[in-house]
């Protein structure tokens, strides 16, 4: 099956129903969240129908528009003031910044040691070392090593509600690089690894499922892609992807699952973005985009894209969309459906290419064939378009579903597409890591149950374990 690209500008989505109520909802959202004061984790805080995310509820009856001061810098000042004042006095305490710094300086060491000592699990945390970002980094969902650094000690880590962080000493210290007026939401990050372009980075925003910064009726949406041309030290929003205002669902770019750069194109700045319902392609560094996969009416909630070192592109779209499955393209323009026989329905699919043999790809599948089970496949490209007899699929779901849990906890689970990751050893295509709540390692690609082991995850009571991404060191594969 062949798919031809269709040019696409930013597609506005207007929900059915009362338009005035929709506008009031957008106006009320920031104050509603402040008045209610609720911050809680909801894995379904953005229940997305096929045509787009739901609209937030109208403002409460006690909404006071005078506190918002819409339309100018006074709004920002009033917002900051309400967050910082002492509730008892209505004033910001004197010398508060120094006191905050002193308090924050005590948090990292105290929180780590206190939790682990109380739980008696220090001996369980073996082989892994803390790398931060500490305290306000948020839940890390994006991670990369800067290939332009000869010592590979420059790291970039993005938090879903903590922004983008950069370290130049292998994680010993971190600097927040997201601007104070920018949206602090990062879901994915990618570097342009071509010689002469390694100062260029991209990160995506907006987590459609499980965002702990959101609340009921107050989803924490993203705002497209951000680009850096100074090695990740500063960032600027790509206007072609902006979803402003983030208080309402305005386009598909408000939820970005993955961004990937084609390292093989010598003349064009070719990048791909897996966004809500669509796979997008740009050849001018994100100035403009073309939709290459995905239905514009019945959209897929979950998408994914990876690019090989030779420019071969693989992408997935969940089966709730009209265009769905696993696809392959030799050039990002012409696509072939290579979905394996027997995979009839699924939610999110995460892909992992084997760096030492990019004809091999592993796929972690959430909610396979209408069940709550996780699936796992190995794909080997043979020839031609890679479909049918031109590719070889091996279903290894049964092995993954039989993985033992750690300390009596349930085995591999992804919280229905929330936490998923696949990583392949840079030198051995059979050494594979898959993540959900736990992280597992196999030395035969999960072909059997004899060569796998628990590698990380849930380790002590009340431990928040979620494996979102994993990378291996470029020159030392023993380090991940």
What is the rounded average pLDDT for all residues in the chain? 81
Two structure tokens written together for 461:
């009571």
Q: How large is the average pLDDT for residues 86-100?
A: 85
How far, in Å, CA of 206 to CA of 48, rounded? 13
Residues 106-147 have pLDDT tens digits of: 765 444 444 444 444 444 455 777 788 876 777 899 999 999
Closest by Cα among 81, 84, 55 to 68:
81
Count CA atoms within 13 Å of residue 5 on its CB side: 16
Among the ranges given (15-24, 248-257, 280-289), the one the predictor scored with the smallest mean pLDDT: 15-24
Higher-scoring residue by pLDDT: 215, 188: 188
How far, in Å, CA of 192 to CA of 154, rounded? 15
Find the length of the chain. 480
The pLDDT-based confidence of 50 (bands split at 50, 70, 90) is very low
Long-range residue pairs from 388-392, CB within 8 A, at least 24 positions apart, any chain: 391/328, 391/338
Phi, psi of 141 (to 5 degrees): -120, -20
Q: How large is the average pLDDT for residues 259-270?
A: 98
Does residue 349 come out as left (phi exceeding 0), alpha (psi in the -120 to 50 range) or beta?
Answer: beta
Phi, psi of 72 (to 5 degrees): -165, 180
How far, in Å, CA of 157 to CA of 337, rounded? 33
Q: In Å, how far are 110, 122, 421, 459, 467 from 119, measured between CA atoms?
A: 14, 8, 27, 9, 21
pLDDT of residue 254: 93
Spatial CB neighbours of 15, under 8 Å, sequence gap ≥ 6: 22, 52, 54, 55, 249
Say whether 430 sits in a helix, a strand or coil.
Answer: coil
Spatial CB neighbours of 103, under 8 Å, sequence gap ≥ 6: none
Spatial CB neighbours of 95, under 8 Å, sequence gap ≥ 6: none
- Whether the per-residue pLDDT at 342 is higher than 70: the answer is yes
The pLDDT-based confidence of 353 (bands split at 50, 70, 90) is very high
Residues 449-470 have pLDDT tens digits of: 989 888 887 776 677 788 888 8
pTM for this entry: 0.77
- Whether the per-residue pLDDT at 474 is higher than 90: the answer is no
How far, in Å, CA of 85 to CA of 297, rounded? 46
pLDDT of residue 58: 34
Closest by Cα among 191, 208, 197, 430 to 300:
208
- The answer to whether the CB of 372 falls within 8 A of the CB of 38 is no
pLDDT of residue 51: 37
The pLDDT-based confidence of 387 (bands split at 50, 70, 90) is very high
Q: How large is the average pLDDT for residues 147-171?
A: 94
């Amino acid at each position: 099956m062949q798919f031809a690209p269709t040019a696409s500008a930013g597609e506005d989505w207007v929900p059915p129903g009362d338009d005035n109520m929709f506008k009031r909802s957008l106006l009320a959202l920031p104050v509603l969240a402040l008045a209610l004061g609720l911050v809680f984790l909801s894995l379904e805080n953005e229940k997305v129908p096929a045509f787009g995310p739901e609209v937030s509820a109208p403002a409460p009856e006690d909404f006071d528009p005078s506190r918002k001061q819409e339309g100018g810098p006074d709004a920002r000042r009033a917002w900051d003031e309400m967050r910082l004042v002492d509730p008892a006095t209505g004033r910001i305490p004197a010398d508060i910044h120094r006191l905050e710094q002193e308090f924050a300086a005590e948090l990292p060491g105290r929180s780590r040691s206190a939790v682990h000592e109380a739980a008696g699990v220090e001996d369980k945390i073996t082989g892994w070392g803390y790398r931060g970002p500490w305290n306000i980094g948020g839940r890390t969902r994006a991670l990369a090593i800067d290939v332009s650094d000869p010592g590979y000690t420059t790291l970039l880590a993005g938090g879903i509600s903590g922004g983008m962080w950069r370290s130049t000493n292998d994680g010993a210290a971190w600097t927040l690089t997201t601007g104070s007026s920018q949206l602090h939401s990062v879901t994915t990050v990618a570097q342009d690894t071509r010689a002469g372009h390694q100062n260029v980075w991209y990160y995506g925003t907006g987590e459609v499922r499980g965002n702990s910064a959101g609340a009921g009726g107050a989803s924490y949406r993203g705002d497209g892609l951000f680009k850096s041309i100074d090695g990740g030290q500063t960032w600027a929003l790509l206007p072609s992807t902006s979803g402003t205002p983030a208080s309402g669902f305005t386009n598909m770019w408000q939820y970005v699952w993955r961004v990937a750069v084609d390292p093989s194109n010598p003349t064009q700045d070719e990048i791909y973005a897996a966004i809500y319902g669509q796979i997008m392609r740009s050849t001018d560094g994100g100035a403009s985009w073309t939709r290459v996969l995905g239905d514009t009416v019945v959209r897929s909630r979950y998408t994914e894209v990876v690019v090989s070192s030779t420019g071969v592109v693989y992408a997935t779209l969940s089966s709730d969309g009209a265009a769905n499955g696993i696809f392959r393209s030799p050039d990002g323009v012409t696509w072939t459906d290579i979905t394996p026989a027997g995979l009839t329905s699924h939610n999110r699919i995460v892909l992992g290419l084997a760096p030492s043999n990019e004809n091999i790809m592993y796929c972690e599948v959430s909610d396979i064939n209408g069940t709550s089970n996780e699936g796992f496949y190995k794909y080997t490209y043979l020839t031609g378009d890679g479909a049918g007899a031109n590719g070889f699929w091996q279903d290894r779901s049964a092995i993954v579903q039989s993985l033992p849990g750690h300390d009596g906890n349930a085995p591999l689970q992804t919280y229905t597409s929330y936490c998923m990751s696949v990583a392949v050893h840079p030198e051995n295509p059979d050494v594979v890591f898959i993540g959900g709540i736990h992280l597992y390692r196999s030395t035969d690609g999960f072909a059997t149950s004899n060569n796998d082991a628990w590698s990380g995850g849930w380790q002590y009571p009340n431990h928040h374990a979620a494996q979102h991404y994993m990378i291996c060191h470029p020159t030392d594969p023993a380090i991940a």
